[in-house]
Amino acid sequence: MYKILTKKSLTPTVIQMEIEAPLVANKARPGQFIILRVDEDGERIPLTVAGTDQKRGAVKIIFQIVGATTKKLDIKNEGEYIEDFAGPLGVPTHTDGIKKVCIVGGGVGCAIALPVAEEFKRLGAEVTGIIGFRHRDLLILEEEFSSCCDTLTVMTDDGSYGRGGNVTVPLKEMLENGEKFDMIITIGPLIMMKFVVETARPYNTPVTVSMNPIMIDGTGMCGGCRLTLNRDGKRITSFACVDGPDFNGYEVDFDEAMSRGRMYADFERHAYEDTCNLFKKSEGEF
């Protein structure tokens, strides 16, 4: 059992928790993830390590309430426990030799991008940050990004905060103006990452994307997290849990990944509704 040390709402649907897991805290590096179960009958879900505190043995996770399991997790409070918290899993983000990096985060993907940006700053790299949200009410982690980025641009789709437009707007401006990056790292919705890749393509700038497909065991056994990569004229299968979650953005078949990601949308929606109804019943709202 793993104790919830802290809990904070970043927005009405985005929650930050610190979990007491000293072994994970001592080993986890930026870009890696954990798999948890809320209770003994619960499903396994992957969540990226959003930060660690080795002295306290704490691991930070940030999640959006979108399905049954995240709803169950949100109902838990400080001082309560979750069943399983396994990790760290996956390959840490590559940092060697990168002196100038652009970190592009979208929505809750910014929770994954933040520890990566912080690690590059710690290593002495020049860090440019671009973070985007649909509107200002969904903005998270601006202060934290400001602390680790040499320059930061905040975008909102509707222009309600920062600059109006999506994250590719300032990225394209930078590249057109001759800005050179050793690497662009983008983390967020698949469609956003796809267009970041296409924005960078004419400039031959390396792009790393962080993939978060359907995942069950986190060890490559189930095959649920498989991705198709186009490499050297061949289509190959890779697994996000053991080969990633970071991949060369120019190799990823985004259209297939988006199609696979929609496969269980109806099931997830019904499971979420059933879970909400169950808790309403228990609270006497029916």
Rounded mean pLDDT of 98-116? 94
Structure tokens belonging to residue 258: 């988006």
- Flag the least confident range among 64-68, 133-137, 205-209, 274-278: 274-278
Contact 154, 103 (CB under 8 A): no
> What percent of the chain stands above pLDDT 70?
91
Whether residue 256 has pLDDT greater than 80: yes
φ, ψ of residue 72 in degrees (nearest 5): -65, -40
12 against 263, higher pLDDT = 12
Q: What is the mean pLDDT of the chain?
A: 89
- Residue 252 is classified by DSSP as B
Structure tokens belonging to residue 42: 């619960």
Q: Which residues pair with 132 in a beta bridge?
A: 106, 155
Indicate the pLDDT class of residue 272, thresholds 50, 70 and 90.
Answer: very low
Instruction: Report the alpha-carbon angle 187-165-120, nearest 5.
Output: 35
CA distance 93 to 185: 9
CA distance 178 to 166: 20
Structure tokens belonging to residue 189: 């919705």
Q: Which residues pair with 252 in a beta bridge?
A: 229
For 195-248, write each residue's pLDDT tens digit. Answer: 999 999 999 999 999 998 777 777 777 777 888 899 988 998 988 888 889 999
234 CA to centre of own chain: 28
221 CB-near residues (< 8 Å, 6+ apart): none
Structure tokens belonging to residue 146: 């400001």
Residue where the block lists tokens 């970190």 = 103
Indicate the pLDDT class of residue 170, thresholds 50, 70 and 90.
Answer: very high
Can you list the domains of the chain with their CATH numbers? 2-89 (2.40.30.10), 91-210 (3.40.50.80), 212-264 (no CATH)
